[in-house]
Structure 1
Amino acid sequence: MMVDFDPTTPLDLDVQYYVNLMKGRGLLRSDQAMATDARTAAIVYRMAASSEAWSKRFLKAMIKLGRTNVLTKDQGEIRTNCRAFL
């Protein structure tokens, strides 16, 4: 069974995920905790309040992720099924 983290706009990359957290509608308990934890609540609020702020943070995260050194060939493996070792 598959479940969307954001059932409101599941096919869009937008702030709705954070808006849902602020409404107490997070899918995972750990995600919902971000909206109430003093260390992360302000970030959730900023992301929900500003599409521009969210877009900038998302872009930075994708650039950072793209710079990771992926192990390939004999050094690593790319799986089509993450639960199965080849």
Structure 2
Amino acid sequence: MKQIYYALLLSCGTLLGCEKKERVLPEQCRLEPNAGPCMAAMPKYYYNPKNGRCEQFIWGGCGGVVPFQTLQECKDCGCEK
């Protein structure tokens, strides 16, 4: 009986597409923010994969990594769950 159960479970996962598909985020959503070396305080945005949301960080004004200029730009990219 166990063998039948496992066979059905396996066929569901492979033949019927029941397995969960991993979500692939756009590259821009995977960029980690970096404030850079300058001392300005400019609000910019990035996708936080820990909570699945777009969040603000403070950019120094030069260098660093700025994934998104605005919150709306981050949301429009399709990063948020």
Q: TM-score w.r.t. structure 2 length?
A: 0.20
Structure (1/2) with the larger helix percentage? 1
In our comparison, the structure showing a higher alpha carbon Rg is 2
Which fold has the larger relative contact order, with Cα–Cα distance below 8 Å and residues 6 or more apart in sequence? Answer: 2
Please identify which structure carries the higher strand content. Answer: 2
